Structure 1
Amino acid sequence: MKRLMLVLFLIFALTVSFAELIIYSSVDEANARKILNAFSRETGITVKYIFLSSGPALARLEAEKKNPQADVWFGAPMPNHIIAKERGLTEAYKTTSIYGIAPNFYDIEGYYHAFYMNPLGIGINLKVLEQIKADMPKSWQDLLKPEYRNMIQYPSPQTSGTAYAFITGLIEIYGEDGMIDYLKKLAKNVQSYTQSGTGPSKSVGVGQAGLGIQFTPAFFQFKEQGYPIEVVFPVEGVPYEAACVSIVKGAKHKYEAKVLVDWLLSKKGQQTIVDTKTFFYPVRPDVDFGTLQPLSTIKLISVDENWAAQNKKRIVDRWIKEVLPVK
């Protein structure tokens, strides 16, 4: 009997030791590895991750609904996790790690939790600005100045969620018609509309464009690497993306998935996001932000994500029809 108990214990121990947390990651590969490798070192939980952008990840979760292959969806902006919840692809977990985090960063029922956020900002190449003898912009209105003609890049909302976040943020500031009017005026200063949401930072980094509009991590990374880049958050306010984590409904390694959620939202996990140089903003206010500009100095604009999702096609169609042809 004792021998049988020992065998059963060893089988259990081996099962626990080799349990693998399977993650579908919509965070870029380099930064996902930084965060998840730190989690594995901290907890001893082995992690296997598959990299999928938001759309393919959601489609795969849908296809695997009856036989889930992943335990956690890691990353992708909040609207995607709202859809996953509505489609019954994820399940609730109310972690105590949310205490101290603003309620706009998690689902009150526990289906998804933001673990980092990125404010939209203007990246500026200081050498280009010096060459064209222009002042540092402080506001969205400043970007309409004639000295910035053919100097600005921002993504196209036809292909980029970043661009749509920019547009919906402007709607909060100016109203829908005011947004169209603003972007038509800005078009005179736009060099190009990039296909990728991070396209502007690449052009600004090498001086091909003087100014770029996008979420800020890539700008901060270029600055850290010694490029003459400065980041400005316009005084009227900026929208932001909040990347979330959700536990997949029917997850085979639910305990490990909950440990990941707890750790990501803990002070330790949040500090790791800063210390590993992801250049993501933590959602907890009680960590050291390092070289990042404190959130308390940035005016953030909240967008009604449900309204934004329901009206996306109509808004993007207006941009194509009314803004894109303007030069």
Structure 2
Amino acid sequence: MLKRLLLALMILTVLLGSFAFSKKLVVYSSVDEANARKILTAFTKDTGIDVDFVFLSSGPALARIEAEKQNPQADVWFGAPMENHIIAKERGLTQPYKITMPKEISSRFYDKEGFYYPIYMNPLGIGVNMTMLEKMKLPLPESWNDLLKTVYKKTIQYPNPQSSGTGYSFVTGLIKILGEDAAMKFLKLMAKNVQTYTQSGTAPSKAVGIGEAVFGIQFTPAFFQFMDQGYNVKVVFPKEGVPYEVACMSIIKGAKNIEEAQKLVEWILSKKGQQEIINQKTYFYPIRTDVDFGNLPPLSSIKLIHVDPKWAADNKTRIVNRWINEVLPY
């Protein structure tokens, strides 16, 4: 009887010890669910740290983190463009973790105080359904200005900047290229060629893939995925230049699993973590210059336009309201 009792106590001790030292991380992910799972599963495989994640687009994620600030339910906000993480920092919702940054990562991509770090970057582009383009005998656009042509009437989809960070990045990119007044005039003129303003940042690619729209404007991963799957889709990077997103991650203030959160930061910035972004077929661009980009067009072939994320964050409400008043009605 005593032996059985001792054996039971030994088993219980092992189980409790295993539970006490199990590594767990809770993540709010604004990276799309499929790609978040690919990246975070690779992280778990490399580190042994299990991850529970909930998908929330950037607006709802920020709202939830703010609502839970007295009792955080997640450790990391993973994804969403940089300007969202700037807002979270300014509202006191995140905490810094200072590390020495690799020289292969541009200083434009992270916060020098350590409040947010990059995961990946993506240029904005025009996805084209080539089958529909040829069927309708339309010319292939080479510039943003080409999208004003009358032959493109009701052939374009792009995301609504009210609901989509991608849509807002498109607007701010045009502002950087043309100036604010000229960009609003451009978008107003282009409105006659727009089928719909989608609520989701990735919806235009789905419409292009099935031929519902000839052109879709968004960040490029879904277009490259369709091309890899055999769809007759082409990506155009307009010659005036394109804005890009830098998807970031932040450690939430009051995170319960702080060491595991810091490990995720270190891993995602490492060469191994960045290479997994390509190996897992996310079609995202790595933010390190020393990894193999696979089949993605090299960044050297794309004219990239830098939009100051702090300016984009500070002016978001004003610019979106201007778009609503000056572009949406047409």
3-state SS, counterpart of residue 147 of structure 2 = helix
Q: Within 5 Å, which residues of 2 pair with 1:211-290?
A: 211-290=215-294
The reply to whether residue 136 of structure 1 matches residue 104 of structure 2 is no
* Residue of 316, 319, 325 corresponding to 2:323: 319
Q: Deviations over 1:209-246 (max 9, x none)?
A: 11111111111121111111011111111111111111
* Residue of 38, 43, 48 corresponding to 2:47: 43
* Residue of 298, 303, 314 corresponding to 1:299: 303
- How far apart in 1 are the matches of 2:28 and 2:188? 39
* Residue of 182, 187, 197 corresponding to 2:201: 197
- How far apart in 1 are the matches of 2:96 and 2:121? 21
The reply to whether residue 20 of structure 1 matches residue 28 of structure 2 is no
- Give the unaligned 5+ runs of structure 2: 1-9
Number of equivalent positions: 320
- How far apart in 2 are the matches of 1:19 and 1:146? 58
The one-letter code sitting in structure 1 at the alignment partner of 2:213 is A
Instruction: Give the aligned partner of residue 3 of structure 1.
Output: none
Q: Within 5 Å, which residues of 2 pair with 1:166-177?
A: 166-177=170-181
Report if the CA contact (8 A) 1:132-1:147 is conserved: no
Report the alpha carbon displacement of residue 161 of structure 1 after superposing the two structures with TM: 2.1
- Compute the RMSD of aligned alpha carbons: 2.1
Report the alpha carbon displacement of residue 13 of structure 1 after superposing the two structures with TM: 5.6
- Give the unaligned 5+ runs of structure 1: 1-5
- How far apart in 2 are the matches of 1:300 and 1:322? 27
Q: 1:320 to 1:23 in 2, by over 3 A?
A: closer
Report the alpha carbon displacement of residue 10 of structure 1 after superposing the two structures with TM: 6.4
Report the alpha carbon displacement of residue 132 of structure 1 after superposing the two structures with TM: 2.1
- TM (norm. structure 2) is 0.90
- How far apart in 2 are the matches of 1:15 and 1:97? 34
- How far apart in 1 are the matches of 2:28 and 2:306? 27
- How far apart in 2 are the matches of 1:246 and 1:310? 19
The one-letter code sitting in structure 2 at the alignment partner of 1:112 is Y
Q: Which shifted more, 311-320 or 197-206?
A: 311-320
Q: Which shifted more, 54-63 or 222-231?
A: 54-63
3-state SS, counterpart of residue 96 of structure 1 = coil
Instruction: Give the aligned partner of residue 146 of structure 1.
Output: 150
Q: Within 5 Å, which residues of 2 pair with 1:103-122?
A: 103-122=107-126
Q: Which shifted more, 68-77 or 264-273?
A: 68-77
Q: Deviations over 1:245-286 (max 9, x none)?
A: 111222222221111111101111011011111111111111
Report the alpha carbon displacement of residue 126 of structure 1 after superposing the two structures with TM: 0.6
- How far apart in 1 are the matches of 2:317 and 2:22? 46
Report the alpha carbon displacement of residue 16 of structure 1 after superposing the two structures with TM: 6.1
Of all paired residues, the percent bearing the same amino acid is 65
The reply to whether residue 54 of structure 1 matches residue 34 of structure 2 is no
3-state SS, counterpart of residue 304 of structure 2 = coil
* Residue of 169, 188, 196 corresponding to 2:192: 188
Report the alpha carbon displacement of residue 25 of structure 1 after superposing the two structures with TM: 1.4
Q: Deviations over 1:274-306 (max 9, x none)?
A: 111111111111111111111121111121223
Q: 1:263 to 1:203 in 2, by over 3 A?
A: same
- How far apart in 2 are the matches of 1:189 and 1:48? 43
